[in-house]
């Protein structure tokens, strides 16, 4: 399928871009012409994977640089945004993708499991959004006439609306992302900064491998997906590229579910 979104001349930071959905988004934005900072956690394995993403982009004729940072840490986030400035002299797009899961029955969930998920999935998205807004406002002290001053796309989840037993920390973080996104959209629209979310359903990535990597688990998973297939990172990436682009110039404060119908309560088809 051909990419019809044009991001040439734009600079993007994608958090958690060394694997899964983040990697798919980084590749898609670069294919659409953006220069991309490929964020990864500062450890050897993530750095190696991020380097592979950077290499794939540059080999295809694009521009990318790796950006190590634990996005739940304020000083790391400042450094990450410094890389976009130093290397690409600006910022137009932030994709707030990095996220983790730490499932546990609530009676066994440790404060650390609760806190870590909130720190990465919610506080990290706040820290990166704040840094992005500061960059956008510096570049555009007054709102530009014909385009946005910047675009933020949160990667949320169907679990911003679907409750998730044994993942209360994760669902709470994504519920928080929903109102964080809408509040920022309301606050920043007069500055012509657009803020939206993409909410993926079940996408084939390492985070949910047990849900699809055996024939039995895949059969169970597909019962939740009316469209009849698991999602791929590129399904999400295409939606992100559009929301980040000038083609979506009048779209702000919106959550676009990319879930094959998971949020349509498929259990009610012919029942209830
Ligand atoms: C989670 C996945 C899960 C999907 C649908 C996502 O937000 O990260 O693990 O498969 O929601 O339940």
208 Cβ inside 6 Å of ligand 1: yes
Predicted confidence at residue 4, as pLDDT, reads 76
Predicted confidence at residue 241, as pLDDT, reads 98
Percent of the chain with pLDDT over 70: 99
Give yes or no for residue 2 having a pLDDT over 80.
Answer: no
pLDDT band at 3 (very low <50, low <70, confident <90, very high): low
Predicted confidence at residue 1, as pLDDT, reads 59
For a mutational test of ligand 1's pocket, the pick from 21, 122, 177, 203, i.e. the residue with the most ligand atoms closer than 8 A to its C-beta, is 203
202 Cβ inside 6 Å of ligand 1: yes
Q: How far is the CA of 217 from the centre of ligand 1 (A)?
A: 14
Give residue-wise pLDDT tens across range 59-79. 999 999 999 999 999 999 999
Average pLDDT (231-244) is: 98
Q: How far is the CA of 142 from the centre of ligand 1 (A)?
A: 39
* pTM, entire model: 0.97
The closest residue, in CA terms, to atom 10 on ligand 1 is 202
Average pLDDT (139-157) is: 97
Instruction: Take residue 141 and report the two structure tokens written for it.
Output: 């002290």
Q: Which residues are catalytic?
A: 170
Predicted confidence at residue 206, as pLDDT, reads 92
Q: How far is the CA of 157 from the centre of ligand 1 (A)?
A: 7
Atom of ligand 1 at shortest distance to CA of 211?
10
Give yes or no for residue 102 having a pLDDT over 80.
Answer: yes
Q: How far is the CA of 33 from the centre of ligand 1 (A)?
A: 29
Average pLDDT over all residues of the chain: 97
For a mutational test of ligand 1's pocket, the pick from 96, 117, 158, i.e. the residue with the most ligand atoms closer than 8 A to its C-beta, is 158
27 Cβ inside 6 Å of ligand 1: no
211 Cβ inside 6 Å of ligand 1: yes
User: Under CATH, which number does the domain 11-260 receive?
Assistant: 3.40.50.720
């Amino acid at each position: 399928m051909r990419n019809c979104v044009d991001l040439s001349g734009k600079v993007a930071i994608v958090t958690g871009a060394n694997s899964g959905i983040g990697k798919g988004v980084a590749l898609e934005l670069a294919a659409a012409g953006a220069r991309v900072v490929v964020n990864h956690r500062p450890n050897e394995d993530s750095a190696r994977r991020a380097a592979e993403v950077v290499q794939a982009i540059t080999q295809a004729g694009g521009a990318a640089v790796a950006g190590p940072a634990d996005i739940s840490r304020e000083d790391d986030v400042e450094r990450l945004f410094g890389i976009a400035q130093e290397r690409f002299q600006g910022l137009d797009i932030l994709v707030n993708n990095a996220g983790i899961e730490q499932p546990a029955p609530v009676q066994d969930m440790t404060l650390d499991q609760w806190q870590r998920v909130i720190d990465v999935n919610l506080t990290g998205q706040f820290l990166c959004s704040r840094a992005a807004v500061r960059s956008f406002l510096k570049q555009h002290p007054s709102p530009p006439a014909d385009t946005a001053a910047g675009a933020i796309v949160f990667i949320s989840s169907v679990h911003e609306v679907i409750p998730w037993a044994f993942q209360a920390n994760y669902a709470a973080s994504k519920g928080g992302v929903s109102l964080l996104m809408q509040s920022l959209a309301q606050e920043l629209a007069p500055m012509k900064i657009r803020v939206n979310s993409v909410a993926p359903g079940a996408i084939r990535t390492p985070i949910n491998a047990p849900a699809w990597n055996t024939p039995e688990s895949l059969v169970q998973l597909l019962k939740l997906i009316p469209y009849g297939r698991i999602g791929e990172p590129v399904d999400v990436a295409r939606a992100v590229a559009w929301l980040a682009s000038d083609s979506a110039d009048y779209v702000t404060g919106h959550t676009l579910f990319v879930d094959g119908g998971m949020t349509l309560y498929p259990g009610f088809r012919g029942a209830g």
